Chains A and B, each alone.
Chain A
C-alpha cells in the first residue's frame, strides 16, 4: 500500500495557554513545560466528529480531485460517532458521494487508531477486497472534558484527518505490524458515564460542569509509565519483524501524546532528534489524528520523500499499542 495524500482539519476556536493561565491562575509557561502545547483547537457541539471528518475528506478531494470516484473503502477512526447505529461511515459514504460499491467501517479507537486503520487498509488491499481506501480520523476529546479540568484541557485538542491509501504495484517487504493490548489498564484513560455501564443520569446532568457525552478521566502517571515500559520493546520488535535496524528508518512518527514523554522515549531509544517528530505546539494531543497530522506537517515542510522508510507507532488508551514500518 502507499499513502498518496493526507489532509487535515483543525477547528477554528483556539484555546491558548494564556487563556488557561488566566482562568486557572497558573503560569502559562508551566503549562507549556508540562505538555509542549501552546494552542489547542476546540470544535463546537454542532460540528461533531462526523462533520469534521467530512471537512477533512472534502479538503482531500480538493487536493486530489479524481480520487473520489475510485474509493472503494472508507474507514472512520475515532470516538463520538453520530449514532449508536448505523455506522457513521455509512452516512459519510452518502454525504461524500462515494461510489455505492464501498466497504464502510467505524473503528472506535484512540491513540493507536491510525495504526489500526493502516492495518485494516493493508489487509483489505492484500486480500484484494478493495484497492483505494479513504482512512479518516476524527476526534473530539473536548466534548468529554470538564471546564474545571486543567490537566486535560491543557493536553487535548480536536481535529480530523483524511488519508488516501492505494495499492502499490510493487509488493512491500515492510508493512509488518505489531500490536499489543493490556485491558487491565482500561480505566487509566476512559470516558465514564458514556455507554451502557453506569450511563449518565439526571444527577450527572444536574451538575452543569459535566460534559454532555460522558466525562474523560486520565491517570497521566500510569499512562506515562506504561509507555516508557512497553513502547521501546515494541519498537525493537517492529524493526525486527520488518528486518530493519534503527539506522534504516528515515523518520519515526509516534502518537503525539505529550512532548515531554516523547522526548523521554526518544532518549531511551537513542533516536537522533532530526529523525524523530515531536511537535504538538499548535494542536495538542489529537488522539487518533496525531500521526496523520504529523505526517502532513512533514510533507508540507518537504521532509518526506518517496521511498523513505517511516516507523509509525501508536500507544495509549486501552491500553493498546501498535506499530509498523511503511514506505512513503
Chain B
C-alpha cells in the first residue's frame, strides 16, 4: 500500500481530524490535542490494520507520518 492510502486509513482513526490534515511530512505530535491516548490509537491501528506490533519505544523513535509508515512497512516485511 502507498503512503496516501495509509494516511487515509490513519485519518479515519482520529474522529476530530479534518480529512487532508495529515501529510507524509507532518509531525504527528503536532496533531491538535495530541496526547498519550493518540499514541495508543496509533498502536491499536497498526495492530488492527496491519497485524504489526508497535511498541511505545518504536513510536518514540519516529516523528513524521512518513517515519510511521516506514516502521510499519519494515515490520510487515520482517
Is A228 in contact with B37, judged by CB distance below 8 angstroms? no
Count chain A residues whose beta carbon lies closer than 8 angstroms to a beta carbon of B: 13
Using a CB-CB cutoff of 8 Å, which residues 36-77 of chain B contact chain A? 36-37, 39-41, 43-44, 47-48, 53, 55-56
**A264-B44, A268-B48 are known contacts. Are A225 and B37 too (CB-CB below 8 A)?**
no
B37 contact from A34, A229, A267, A268, Cβ within 8 A? A34
Residues of B within 8 A of A224 (CB): 40, 43-44
Q: Please, how many angstroms separate the alpha-carbon atoms of A228 and B55 in the complex? A: 13
Is residue A33 contacting chain B, with contact meaning CB distance below 8 A?
Answer: yes
Q: Give, as a whole number of angstroms, the nearest-CB distance from B39 to chain A.
A: 8
A260 interface hit (Cβ, 8 Å): yes
CB distance from A152 to the nearest CB of B (A): 15
How far is the CB of A233 from the nearest CB of chain B, in Å? 12
Partner among A30, A33, A229, A268 whose Cβ is within 8 Å of the Cβ of B53? A229
Chain B contributes a number of interface residues (CB within 8 A of A) equal to 13
B56 near A228 with CB under 8 A, answer: no
Identify which of B35, B36, B41, B53 contacts A225 (C-beta below 8 A). Answer: B53
By the criterion CB–CB under 8 Å, are A260 and B53 in contact?
no
How far apart are the CA atoms of A33 and B36 in the complex, in Å? 11
A42 to B56: give the CA distance in the assembly, Å: 32
Complex contacts, A221 vs chain B, CB 8 Å: 36, 39-40, 43, 56
Q: Considering the chains assembled together, what is the distance between the CA atoms of A261 and B48 in angstroms?
A: 13
Give every chain A residue within 8 A of B41 (Cβ-Cβ): 264
Report the separation of the CA atoms of residues A30 and B35 in the bound assembly, to the nearest whole angstrom. 10
Closest to A221 in B: B56
CB–CB B55/A225 < 8 A: yes
A94 to B39, CA, bound (A): 50
Q: Write 29 A-B pairs (CB below 8 A) sorted by A numbering.
A: A34-B35, A34-B36, A34-B37, A221-B39, A221-B40, A221-B43, A221-B56, A224-B40, A224-B43, A224-B44, A225-B43, A225-B47, A225-B53, A225-B55, A228-B43, A228-B44, A228-B47, A228-B48, A229-B47, A229-B53, A260-B37, A260-B40, A261-B40, A264-B40, A264-B41, A264-B44, A267-B48, A268-B44, A268-B48
Binding site for B on A (CB under 8 A): 30, 33-34, 221, 224-225, 228-229, 260-261, 264, 267-268
List B residues at the A interface (Cβ < 8 Å): 35-37, 39-41, 43-44, 47-48, 53, 55-56
Q: What 10 A-B pairs come out closest when comparing CB atoms? A: A264-B44, A221-B56, A228-B44, A268-B48, A228-B47, A224-B40, A34-B37, A225-B43, A229-B47, A260-B37
